[in-house]
Structure 1
Amino acid sequence: MELETQLLPESRAESFVRTCRTVVGDDLRSVTYFTHDRCEQIYLRNDLEADADLTGFVEHETDGFQARTAYRGSELGDYRYTVRAFDHGYLTRVTADDKGVFVTTDGLTLRRSEELASALGELLRE
């Protein structure tokens, strides 16, 4: 897994960040865009340290690419997104085709997670 800069054009990265800020507000911690083999952190809140093992996170989050096929035909319906809860925040992952994004937040309600996932899914499909 390779950490990159400029994986996305700046205007596209700004669209992801703006969308996340609109939905999540000040609870937004970070936004990371990824593919199967590359990733780029496109936003990190200024009061946080840039020392997270981003590559390790992304290696786990690429499982989202397989989730669409793994859960196909499930009684639950189509796989849409994943929310992970941690002691100090939440991670929401959305994938589409060969790209994905995960967003970390301080707090997250079910309604807000659905809004975030829906908005990110639309951006990924553009």
Structure 2
Amino acid sequence: MYDVPFRTDIEAPFADELVDTARTNIGDMLRSVIYFTPSEMDLLYVRTDLYESQQRALEAKARLVEFERVGFTEAPVRTALSVPREPESIGPYEFTIRVHGDGFVVRILADQAGVILTTDTMDAAAFEDTSLAITELLESAA
């Protein structure tokens, strides 16, 4: 499933829990699960039909992580848009879904760690349950 030792500080049981949560909620449409920090990343899961090698998968996902790291500075700004107890508030930032022609990229952040999920095209409603479950895992690990 993944290479150890990890480049981040994630532990194998927690990595397993993240992958299991994503696979349970998203199913066969899940393409990959990436755990990342502001400076490192680990590819925890990649569907076997996608890349000819683990190295090719790592290269492709590293480019994606570089782009998504902006979330560590962006999330507090987005949350600042939310004013607690005001009826017109949109609420705190939770997660980001990027829609592409053949699938989705979902970024979930908590403190100084995050998870990126990639999927085939599917019903976007499944992402909320998955995001909430992964957010709880990330926050409990912090």
Asked whether the two chains share a fold, i.e. TM above 0.5, the reply is yes
Matched, 1:54 2:80: no
Contact 1:67 1:79 (C-alpha < 8 Å) held by counterparts: no
Per-residue CA deviation, residues 45-78 of structure 1 (Å, 9 max, x unaligned), is 1111042422221111112212221121333221
Runs (4+) off by over 3 Å: none
Contact 1:39 1:58 (C-alpha < 8 Å) held by counterparts: yes
Aligned length: 123
2:44 to 42, 45, 70: 42
Structure 2: which 5+ runs fail to align? 83-88
Q: Partners in 1 of 2:5 and 2:31 — Cα distance?
A: 19
Give 1:100's aligned residue: 114
1:21 to 20, 23, 26: 23
Instruction: Give, in angstroms, the shift of residue 110 of structure 1.
Output: 2.9
Amino acid at match of 1:35: T
Partner SS, residue 121 of structure 1:
helix
Matched, 1:63 2:62: no
More strand by share: 1
Partner SS, residue 117 of structure 1:
helix
Contact 1:93 1:102 (C-alpha < 8 Å) held by counterparts: yes
Q: Percent identity of the aligned residues?
A: 35
Structure 1: which 5+ runs fail to align? none
Amino acid at match of 1:105: T
Q: Partners in 2 of 1:22 and 1:68 — Cα distance?
A: 26
Amino acid at match of 2:94: R
**Which structure has the bigger radius of gyration?**
2
Amino acid at match of 1:56: R
Contact 1:5 1:40 (C-alpha < 8 Å) held by counterparts: no
